[in-house]
Amino acid sequence: MIWGGSILARRWEIEMKVPVRLSDKSDRSFSIAGLILHVTLVSVATATIVLGCFGLASIRAQDSAETRVSRLDGDWRSVDPNAGSFAEIVIQGRNLHPYGACHPTACDWGVNPARSFGESVRSSYPVALLAEINNGFSQVWITIRLGNDDRLRVETFTHFTDGSHRADYSNVSFFDRSGPRNNP
């Protein structure tokens, strides 16, 4: 018998409602092909269910994260405009629009995409954002986290790429909300 022959043959007969004879060579090749197809479909279905659970959970977490980003949304102004890289940051969803602390007016760094992060792998809402910006003369990584005091903690890491031989540096600044949330 083939792979427990009579048990598989009986199951195949019941499922297909077609009699299967394992004695005839042409029927055997049909049974083997059917069995391979059946095992493949069962394996794919099982993998879809197992992996789908994790995939759906991450999609749900990502959807929740996107909707919960609104806690960070709004216009934020530096509590000390002379202390950091930015005077103002506008956050909307997963987009940051920083304005550099330039003089006499703020430098517009444009709208930049950000990645959101939760407290743990089980988090369904973000507590931090990360953006990477190349402004032509430097590469800047920006991390943003909302503190317990409802202030943004903004940390920048700047690597100069313009050949000016300036030292790379990092900076921490704090921001207060200056305008309403864009998406309450």
Which pLDDT tens digit goes with each residue over 143-153?
999 888 989 99
The band of 34, judged by pLDDT with boundaries at 50, 70 and 90, is: low
pLDDT of residue 101: 87
The average confidence (pLDDT) of the chain is 75
62, pLDDT greater than 80 = no
pLDDT of residue 85: 83
Identify the CATH number of the domain defined by range 72-177. 2.40.128
The band of 40, judged by pLDDT with boundaries at 50, 70 and 90, is: low
Q: How far apart are the first and last CA of the chain?
A: 68
* C-alpha closest to that of 76 among 63, 60, 52, 92: 92
Q: Rounded distance, CA 71 to CA 93, Å?
A: 9
pTM passes above 0.85: no
Residue 1, CA distances (Å) to 9, 126, 136 in order? 9, 58, 72
The band of 42, judged by pLDDT with boundaries at 50, 70 and 90, is: low
Domain segments of the chain as ranges: 5-68, 72-177
| Overall average pLDDT of the 69-87 stretch | 82
Instruction: Give residue-wise pLDDT tens across range 102-134.
Output: 888 889 999 999 999 888 888 777 789 999 999
Q: Which carries the bigger pLDDT value, residue 67 or residue 102?
A: 102
pLDDT of residue 15: 54
Report the SS3 class of residue 177. Answer: strand
pLDDT of residue 139: 96
Residue 23, CA distances (Å) to 29, 36, 54, 143 in order? 11, 19, 44, 70
Instruction: Give residue-wise pLDDT tens across range 2-11.
Output: 555 555 555 5
Q: Which carries the bigger pLDDT value, residue 154 or residue 34?
A: 154
